[in-house]
Amino acid sequence: MNAALPPILEGAGLSKHFAGRRRLLGSPSVVRAVDDVSLRVERGETLALVGESGSGKSTLGRLLLDLMTPTAGDVLYEGRNIASLPKAEARALRRDLGIVFQDPFASLNPRMSVADIVGEPIWLHEGLARSDRKAKAAELLRTVGLRAEHGARFPHEFSGGQRQRIGIARALASSPKLLLGDEPVSALDVSVQAQIVNLLEDLKSRFGLTLVVVAHGLAVIRHMSDRVAVMYLGQIVELAPVDALFEEPLHPYSQALLSSVPVPSPRARRERAPIDGDIPSATCPPPGCRFHTRCPHVRPLCREARPPLEAAPGGRSVACHFWREIAGAGAGTIVTPPASAAFTRRLALFEARSQQSEAANAARAAEPANIT
The pLDDT tens digits of the residues spanning 246-277 come to 989 999 999 888 888 777 766 666 666 667 77
* 283 is a domain residue: yes
pLDDT for position 64: 95
Highest mean pLDDT among 21-35, 72-86, 116-130, 352-366: 72-86
Whether pLDDT at 239 is above 70: yes
pLDDT for position 226: 95
Structural domain of 319: 249-335
* 268 is a domain residue: yes
pLDDT for position 339: 58
Helices 130-143 and 160-172: angle between axes, nearest 10 degrees: 120
Whether pLDDT at 281 is above 80: yes
Q: What is the pTM of this model?
A: 0.83
* 285 is a domain residue: yes
Whether pLDDT at 141 is above 70: yes
* 354 is a domain residue: no
Query: Residue 337: helix, strand or coil by DSSP?
Result: coil
* 277 is a domain residue: yes
* 258 is a domain residue: yes
Contact 95, 121 (CB under 8 A): yes
pLDDT for position 119: 92
Task: Dihedral sign for Cα 364, 365, 368, 370, please.
Answer: positive
* 229 is a domain residue: no
pLDDT for position 187: 82
Strands in 68-170 per DSSP E: 72-77, 80-81, 97-100
Q: For residue 271, how many other CB atoms are within 10 A of its CB?
A: 12
Q: What is the mean pLDDT of residues 13-42?
A: 87
| Total domain count, the chain | 1
Q: What is the mean pLDDT of residues 124-144?
A: 88
* 271 is a domain residue: yes
